[in-house]
């Protein structure tokens, strides 16, 4: 019982940090990365599809993204979607592919993005703490129903806390790495 709770807790905390990584990858730095646009939804065949499922996305240079749709008929839709997104990028369309020049970030914009990163890291840490709270509650129920002893409960609580501390440190590290990327000129 206790092992199942610990395993589930660790899996949920790991998933929280993986989600945080994906969220932070979509924040624009001064470098071109396909993760910047791959989540953008484009209408194709009557359904909204992520851009990475209707086109190939590559970064041939540090400040350039190239998007090549597999079906050229949607190139205009991709271009309009990128213009409507909050990325602040201007696509250039040559009929077969879209080029996105990634402009360098201003100091003011860097500071705004760092605040966004810190907020998302804090949200990730809150998610981890919520997982801890649920695990502690499950352990409390086990002790109350006499399925585990008080000592087992105390040991399991300590293990849950160690997991929590470890994953919160990892979330902080993920945030610091993203901040360092944003501060690179």
CATH of the domain at 158: 1.10.132.20
Tell whether 117 and 56 lie within a shared domain: no
The 10s digit of each residue's pLDDT in 38-66 is 888 998 888 888 888 899 999 888 888 89
CATH number, domain of 69, equals 3.30.1360.40
Examine the fold and report which residue of 46, 76, 101 is the final residue of a domain before the chain moves on. 101
Q: How many domains does the chain have?
A: 2
Tell whether 92 and 116 lie within a shared domain: no
Tell whether 93 and 137 lie within a shared domain: no
- pLDDT, the chain, mean: 89
Segment 35-40 shows an average pLDDT of 82
Q: Please give the pLDDT value at position 82.
A: 86
Tell whether 18 and 64 lie within a shared domain: no
Tell whether 176 and 117 lie within a shared domain: yes
Q: Please give the pLDDT value at position 132.
A: 96
Contact residues for 166 (Cβ-Cβ < 8 A; gap 6+): none
Tell whether 96 and 111 lie within a shared domain: no
Examine the fold and report which residue of 101, 119, 151 is the final residue of a domain before the chain moves on. 101
Tell whether 39 and 52 lie within a shared domain: yes
Tell whether 159 and 118 lie within a shared domain: yes
Tell whether 153 and 97 lie within a shared domain: no
How far apart are alpha carbons 65 and 40 in whole angstroms? 14
The 10s digit of each residue's pLDDT in 71-87 is 888 888 888 888 887 67
Burial of 184 (0-12, 13-18, 19+ CB in 10 A): exposed
Full residue range of the structural domain in which residue 53 is found:
34-101
Exposure string (b/e) for 109-124, b if CB count within 10 Å is 16 or more? ebeebbeebeebbeeb
From residue 133, alpha-carbon distances to 9, 73, 100, 101, 151 in Å are: 10, 50, 44, 45, 19
Q: Please give the pLDDT value at position 185.
A: 61
Examine the fold and report which residue of 101, 119, 152 is the final residue of a domain before the chain moves on. 101
DSSP 8-class letter at 106: P
The 10s digit of each residue's pLDDT in 90-132 is 888 888 899 988 877 788 888 888 998 999 999 999 999 999 9
Query: Using 50, 70 and 90 to split pLDDT, how confident is the model at 166?
Result: very high
Query: Using 50, 70 and 90 to split pLDDT, how confident is the model at 160?
Result: very high
Q: 0.85 cut: is pTM over it?
A: no
Task: Please write down the long-range contacts of 16-22, taking CB distance under 8 Å and 24 or more positions apart.
Answer: 16/124, 16/127, 16/128, 16/131, 16/167, 16/171, 17/124, 17/128, 17/167, 17/170, 17/171, 17/174, 19/124, 19/127, 20/120, 20/121, 20/124, 20/171, 20/174, 20/175, 21/174
Tell whether 56 and 146 lie within a shared domain: no
From residue 166, alpha-carbon distances to 12, 54, 136 in Å are: 13, 38, 16
């Amino acid at each position: 019982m206790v092992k199942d709770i610990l395993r589930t807790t660790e899996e949920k905390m790991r998933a929280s940090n993986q989600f945080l990584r994906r969220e932070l990858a979509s924040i624009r730095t001064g470098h071109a990365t396909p993760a910047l646009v791959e989540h953008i939804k484009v209408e194709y065949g009557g359904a909204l599809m992520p851009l990475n499922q209707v086109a190939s996305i590559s970064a041939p240079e540090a400040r350039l993204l190239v998007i090549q749709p597999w079906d050229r008929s949607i190139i205009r839709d991709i271009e309009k979607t990128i213009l409507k997104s909050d990325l602040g990028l201007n696509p250039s369309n040559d009929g077969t592919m879209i080029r996105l020049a990634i402009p360098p970030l201003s100091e003011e914009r860097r500071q705004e993005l760092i605040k966004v990163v810190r907020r998302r890291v804090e949200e990730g840490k809150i998610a981890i703490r919520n997982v801890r709270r649920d695990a502690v509650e499950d352990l409390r129920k086990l002790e109350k129903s006499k399925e585990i002893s008080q000592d087992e409960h105390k040991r399991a609580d300590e293990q849950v806390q160690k997991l929590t501390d470890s994953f919160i440190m990892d979330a902080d590290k993920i945030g610091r790495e993203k901040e360092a990327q944003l501060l690179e000129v």
